[in-house]
Every structure is written in structure tokens, then in C-alpha cells.
Structure 1
Amino acid sequence: MYVDAGEGDEPVLMLHGAGVSGWMWEPVRALLPPGMKAIVPDLPGFGRSANLPYVSHTATVGELRGILERHAPHGAHVVGFSLGAQLAILLAAEFPQLVRSVTVVSAETKPAPLPGYTLALLALAAPLSRQRWFARAQARQLGIPEQFWDEYLRDSASTSRDTLIASVGENIRFTLPATWSEYRGPVGILVGARERKLMHDSAALTASALPGSSLRTVEGSAHDVPLTNPHAIASELKRKITP
């Protein structure tokens, strides 16, 4: 798995969503104070790891554990968006010794209705993602700023049908692990004010399952918080790191 790891004393593992790659964290990284070490992988199947298929959340969490052991053996603050937020939850639940804090952004933790129907439609539409006109329309719909369109178009063209189906299948069927309620580090849960009801219900469920966690609605954002309101995420990270 490709990993972009910076320098610093406070490691932060940043996990992107499906259909994009590590570039989506650039607006947040620009706001991090000196001394914070960004560890930004391109998850299997995406970006510079597109040659590796996305198999499952379980397999990916195992790889992320290895990345943390190499780059942050004493633990890292973990922030994840969408699919990446589900992975952040699993890391904290399964390997709490490697996770200093968690910032969960737009994680779907209630299974979506009719997953088979959704995946069938995705399989039919997957070839369109390689068409520039379709990917450009998707970029507008997802709120991706124009300066990142080239990266998004590149990722759309390189992501395989199998990776899309595997990653989205994991995403829409995800449920909170039982050990999530046992995590003892600081946890912040963010959701865009203009997101779907399912996402707001998921954010409330994630927070209620872990007493002591905080829940924040980010005004003006939909399912695009890291790109449209990076300050919300940067401030959440700074709050956890600064005593």
C-alpha cells in the first residue's frame, strides 16, 4: 500500500473515502500545526494503490495496523472520512494501543436498505466512472473543488469495478463492532448538516454507543466535510492533541 508519511512528533493517520485517495486530505493537512506528522495512505484499490484490489475492511485494517507499527509504534491520532471513518472505528476497537484518539467524519454505521439493489446498480454504472464527462459530473455532485478535479478524474479512471463493488459493499453493510464501546481515547464524531438522514442517524448511533464521545454537526457541508470545511477537522485534531 502506498503511504505518504511526513515528519513530526505527533503522528496523525488520515484515511480517505471510497472513490478518492490521499489527496483529499490536502486542505486539512495545510491547517495542521508544525510538529504533526501526517501519515496518509492510498487505500488498496485507490490512487497510487489502484493496482491492489480492495478485498475487505478486515484485510485493510490488518495492513493499516502494520503501517502504524512502522510509522507510529507508540500510537497515532486517527481521522477517517466515510469508508475511511469505518476503518478508523475498527482500528480503535481492535487495536486501541495504537490509536491515541479518533475523529470520525461521515461514517455510515447503520446498514443501508436494499444493499443488493445498490450494488447491482453500481456494477452497471462502474464503466461510466472511466468516462471523463461522467467523472466530472460526479466531482461537481460530490463538492470536490476544481483544483482537485485532475486527481479525482485520475482516480476514477484507475479504480476497478471489483474494488468499487467490494469497498461499497463493505461500506453500506457496516455495523459498529461490539468493542467500540470499550475504546477509552478521545473521540469526536462529525457529520455534515446537509447529509442524508441515514448519515445523521449513523452519527447519533456511533456517539451513543461510546459514552464520552462528542458529536458535532458541520454547518454548510454535505458528504464533503474534509474539502468544504477542513477547519472543522483541523480544530478537532488540535483539540485532542493540545492539552
Structure 2
Amino acid sequence: MPVLPYSGADLAYEEHGRGAPMLMIHGSGAQAATWDGVVGDLAADRRVIVYDRRGYGASTHPPVRDHRRHVRDAAAVLEQVAGEPATVTGWSAGANIALALTVERPDLVRRLILVEPPLHGLRHATAPMLGALARAKRDQLRGRPREAAAHFFRWAAGDSFDGAPAQERERLLSHAANVLAELDPHPFGVLFEHLPTRRIRRVRVPVTFLLGERSDPFFHGVRRRLARALPAMRTEVVPGATHLVHIDAPAAFAAAVRRADPVPPVDPVDPVEADTGP
């Protein structure tokens, strides 16, 4: 993977396809490879850029608690790799980053696709969510970081976590230290409590919310609150999917993304006009 040196980190990224750019931002615990099952489909008629967030995968860096850094990183990737405004697709914590990026840098975002952001999770926490976080903290204090992170993933993704491909589960658990750092309270943390709803209401680009049919009720609540803030927001429910939407149902996920980001048809070339020979 090529790297973009930026603010003390080398951000590893990949580009696939040609055309209008789409930046895809992964969630906590994951890395760019989480998109492998969908990037080929999406890159058939657009330029897809994926990257390892700071501290994940090949973008080596200590765990980051201040998520404003992730927003600045995403802006740097758009400015220096995409080189033009892009559709931004974010999943889970990556969707919070994508939303904050759109608020902070509307000049860089053409369309926004949010895949179950855990937005304002502290003020809207549910009992199952709090229980999972308590179990995660218990195992973290016992020196069992992978078990601690697994509690969080089993709450977020339900039975899809244990049923996910072994390689994907291992990627998630290998970043346990990052996940646990992000779960610690921070004034600018992963749940973006610092991003006020009044600023979200100012978003003017087209927004689509992708929701797994079987996802935890918490994410359905996030969708309802964002729909009130952004009345023009579209919603698509992916049948049978949980929070791991792109892994549970890759074909349906890619189709939903395509509908949210339609690529203009290319006018056919007139063979007479195209003939420039003698």
C-alpha cells in the first residue's frame, strides 16, 4: 500500500478503479481490508479510495482517543489523494468521522453515506450497550484485552461477530488496544458527543443512511434522530444484515451504495466522430 505522510503518521491507502472518487472510512477495530468484499463491485465505475485509519493496519501510530485527528486525516486523504470533492462512505465510528468531516469541510464532500454511526452514544446509551461496556472494562482490567473487545463487538454486531469470517474477526480483535482506548471517555471521543446537532442540521449535501435490518435498536434510534435533523436524508434498510452490514450482505450493501451515489451514464462515442484518421 502507498502511504500519505501526514501529521506524524504514514496513512496507508489503496485506490481502485477510475472516475468520480469515493472515500471509504472503516470503523473501530477494522482496517481498509474490511471493504475487500465490496470494493471490486464499487470500483467498476468509480474511483474508490480506502485507507487504514491512524493506529490501524499499516498506518502505525499509538491508539488515538481524540477523534478530531481522524477527521483531519480524512480531509488530508481527500485533499492529497482524491484531489477533488468525493462521495464519503463511513461505517460505524468511520461514519461519525465522515459526518464530522462533512460538517467541518463541506468543500471536500459531494455526497455522504452513513452506515450506522454510533453518534451521541453516551447521551442515548441503552442498557445492553452499557452492560457490554461494563463487561469490556472488567476484562480490560483483568488484562484480557481481546476478550474485552469481543464484548463490545458482540453487542454491536450480535451473532454476526462470531459468525463472521475468521480473518475478519482476527482483524477486529488484533486492534483490541485501539478499540479499548476509544471506549475510554474523552471530550472528543469516538461517539462525537462534541458534534452538536445544530451543526449537523447545516449539512447540505445529499445524505443516505444505511441500516442493517437486524441491527441493535440503538442504531435504529440514531437513524431516527438524524432523520429529524436532516429531513431530506434517505434511508435504506439492508435485509438480514446486522451492524456488519458490508460483511453480512456485501452484494446488497454495494447495490445500496450505488443507489446512494449514482454514477452519471457515459455518452456513447459516435464512431464517425471518433474516427480521426485520414
Q: Normalising to structure 2: TM-score of the pair? A: 0.74
TM-score (norm 1): 0.83
Distance in 2 of aligned mates of 1:237 and 1:50: 29
Give the structure 2 partner of residue 171 of structure 1. Answer: 190
Quote the residue 1:125 is aligned against: 139
Decide whether the 8 Å contact of 1:55 with 1:166 is kept in 2. Answer: yes
Report which structure shows greater RCO (CA 8 Å, sep ≥6).
1
More deviation, 195-204/48-57? 48-57
Uncovered stretches (5+) of structure 2, i.e. residues with no partner: 1-10, 265-278
The answer as to whether partners of 2:16 and 2:39 remain within 8 angstroms in 1 is no
Aligned counterpart, 1:150: 167
Give the deviation of 1:199 after TM superposition.
0.9
Taking the aligned partners of 2:249 and 2:66, their CA distance within structure 1 comes to: 29
- Larger Rg computed on CA atoms: 2
Spell out the pairing of 1:65-214 with structure 2 (5 A cutoff). 65-112=75-122, 113=125, 121-126=135-140, 127-130=143-146, 141-142=160-161, 145-146=164-165, 149-160=166-177, 163-169=178-184, 170-172=189-191, 174=193, 176-177=195-196, 178-214=198-234
CA distance in 2, matches of 1:116, 1:204: 20
Q: 1:223 to 1:175 in 2, by over 3 A?
A: farther
- In the alignment of these two chains, the number of paired residues is 236
Structure 1: stretches of 5+ with no match in the other structure: none
Q: Which structure features the higher share of helix residues? A: 1
CA distance in 2, matches of 1:228, 1:40: 19
Q: Percent identity over the alignment?
A: 27
Shift of 1:231: 2.9
Q: RMSD between aligned alpha carbons?
A: 2.8
Taking a change above 3 Å as real, the CA distance of residues 81 and 144 of structure 1, as seen in their structure-2 partners, is farther
Alignment of 1:40 with 2:50, yes or no, is yes
Structure 1 position 31 matched with structure 2 position 63: no
